[in-house]
Amino acid sequence: MFETKLLFLQCHNGHTLCSSCKARVLNKCPTCRQQVGDIRCLALEKMAKSLELHCKNEEFGCFEIIPYHTKLMHEDSCNFRPYSCPWYGCLCSTVGDIPLLVSHLTDYHKAVMLYGCKFKLEFLIEGLYKYQSYKWDVTIINCFDKHFFLHAKAFLIGSTPVYMAFLSLIGNQAEAGNYSYNLEIGGNGRKLTFEGILRSIRESKRSSLESADNLIVLGDMAFSLGGETRMPMLWVTGRIW
């Protein structure tokens, strides 16, 4: 671990930098602009190995003191590391703790906030190009003093419309494992029921969408559930426990 995580290299003039910084400066010494090769500074590596440092997520509540050579590994999986915006397709760079993230979603993205562990939403399925309203965006559900996201997406696979819904927790995966949920989607007297594994928003958006833990309805079925009307609607109801 020490050899792969903690390397200090030096240029021919003796200036040192770590291996990760070397890649960022394109192998050029930031002091003298000479080429940085693979000459290691073993004295610095030995000294750094004995250091203990605060986690960079201290401002978010992590007060662990970590050996230097495991610091990066700890910070990559730290339970207090900031959350990034989970809004699918969002290009914003907002990161922070849970209160900041919830405020960002409700204020900037105009996410809908629902209270209680049972919920019901209505979705218009007139066409895929109609879904770009708040009803097809993320809804935040405040339940058990936690914040959950109901994601409802519509997209095309080839020429087939697909409607998808799943729930995730603004929290760590260990916390998410404490809860279960189900979703029912339907209308016109028909419904489909799904019970899924609750995931954390720390999981990548792509892997969440590609996992099997989603309620998925294909176009023909969606319109059958929505009813033979000019503006077919789907009702999504759910419960968290």
Cross-strand partners of 127: none
SS3 54: strand
Amino acid, single-letter form, for residue 30: P
**CATH 2.60.210.10 intervals, the chain:** 97-240
What is the per-residue pLDDT for 29? 92
Query: What CATH code would you report for 97-240?
Result: 2.60.210.10
The answer to whether residue 130 scores a pLDDT higher than 60 is no
CA 134/CA 72 separation, integer angstroms: 38
What is the tens place of the pLDDT at every residue in 160-181?
777 778 889 999 888 998 999 9
Q: Count of residues for the chain? A: 241
* Longest Cα separation, the chain: 78
The answer to whether residue 137 scores a pLDDT higher than 80 is no
Backbone angles phi, psi at 96, to 5 degrees: 170, -170
Helices (H), 25-158: 42-49, 68-77, 98-107
Tell the residue number behind the tokens 């079925």, with chain if given. Answer: 221
> DSSP assignment of 140-152, as one string?
EEEETTEEEEEEE
What is the per-residue pLDDT for 201? 87
Residue 35 DSSP one-character state: B
- Rg of the chain, C-alpha, whole Å: 24
What is the tens place of the pLDDT at every residue in 145-162?
999 988 877 777 777 777
